[in-house]
Amino acid sequence: MPEAVSVSGVRDTPPSVPDFTQWPSFPFEGDLRVKQLDDPVPVEPPRRGEGHRECTACTAPDDAYIWVGERWRVRAMDRPTGLPMVLILESRSHLDLGDLPNLLAAELGVMTVRLERAIRSLDGVARVHVNRWGDGSAHLHMWFLARPYGRLQLRGTFLSLWDSILPPISEAQWRENLALVAAWLAEFGGRPLAEPSRIQWQAPSSFTGQLSVDLEAPEGEAVSVIGSSEETPLPPVEHRADETAEDRVDGTTEHRAEETAAPDGRPPGD
């Protein structure tokens, strides 16, 4: 009779990190470790706008938003982030997604498509990711994140992480994008409240180029204006033979004569 063989059970060992850490879109590299999962709580804490907690969306004034309508409002972050545009669509009514009546539920679909198109119309935007989490606030709010065109590494579910990693865009470009989206939405109603940055005009301190204007051009032809890249030296100043050094410092002998003229306009001694 053959001898029995003892086989011990082998426990499946899960991988140290999930497969998505190898995706090109995953923002991190190097040694990673999965955090220990906390024990579940028996009762979840109330969100903002639940129980006795104040709802920040309900108390926010209209001027805190870039566009407002009768039943919807759109707000932005308080400063530029790494993506071309990040916006939040909110209902005016204090309702969560599953609490919307049919009218608002239908309008939510229209507003989602409308805002996605407005953001996608911006230069340099390839896709718009639409997300709803709802763990922080009981007031309905939908996130819209613009993925830059050509940035294939930002595709997929990690776009919101990349938004906090990438260097922020310029404030001027950010404000211009906000104003464009607000104006786009206002074409269908509501009020745009975002304005682009003011242009900072600065006059040149000096002109180094010489302009040559051809004033004898035939009638009907454009007058040519040619700029010289080199400065043209000023002609030497000619002085009168009887002009003193003090006269040259103060201006001209004519100016000095005017300063010392009598009240009736005659030179002294006349």
pLDDT digits (tens, 9 = 90+) for 58-93: 999 999 999 999 999 999 999 999 999 999 999 999
The pLDDT tens digits for 202-224 are 666 655 554 444 444 455 554 44
User: Is 130's pLDDT higher than 50?
Assistant: yes
Is there a domain that residue 90 lies in? yes
Mean pLDDT, residues 153-164:
94
Task: Label residue 270 by pLDDT band (50, 70, 90).
Answer: very low
Question: Residue 80 belongs to a domain with what CATH number?
Answer: 3.30.428.10
Note the maximum CA span of the chain: 152
Is there a domain that residue 244 lies in? no
Mean pLDDT, residues 104-133:
97
Collapse the DSSP code of 119 into the 3-class scheme (helix H, G, I; strand E, B; otherwise coil) and give the result.
helix
Is there a domain that residue 28 lies in? no
> Alpha-carbon distance 51 to 91, whole Å?
19
Collapse the DSSP code of 67 into the 3-class scheme (helix H, G, I; strand E, B; otherwise coil) and give the result.
strand
Amino acid at position 38, single letter? D
Q: Are 66 and 87 contacting, i.e. CB atoms less than 8 angstroms apart?
A: yes
- Give me 50's structure tokens: 């639940």
Is there a domain that residue 177 lies in? yes
Range of 176's domain? 54-192
User: Is 230's pLDDT higher than 60?
Assistant: no
Is there a domain that residue 37 lies in? no
Is there a domain that residue 82 lies in? yes
**Number of domains composing the chain:** 1
According to the model, what pLDDT value does residue 51 have? Answer: 85
User: Is 246's pLDDT higher than 70?
Assistant: no
Q: Are 92 and 73 contacting, i.e. CB atoms less than 8 angstroms apart?
A: yes
Is there a domain that residue 222 lies in? no
Is there a domain that residue 148 lies in? yes
According to the model, what pLDDT value does residue 91 have? Answer: 97
> Alpha-carbon distance 180 to 174, whole Å?
10
Q: Please, what is the angle between helix 171-186 and helix 102-120, to 10°? A: 130
Amino acid at position 101, single letter? P
Dihedral, CA atoms, 196, 202, 207, 210, nearest 10 degrees? 20
Instruction: Using alpha carbons, select from 101, 86, 95, 114 the residue that is nearest to residue 57.
Output: 95
Count of Cβ atoms closer than 10 Å to residue 97 Cβ:
13
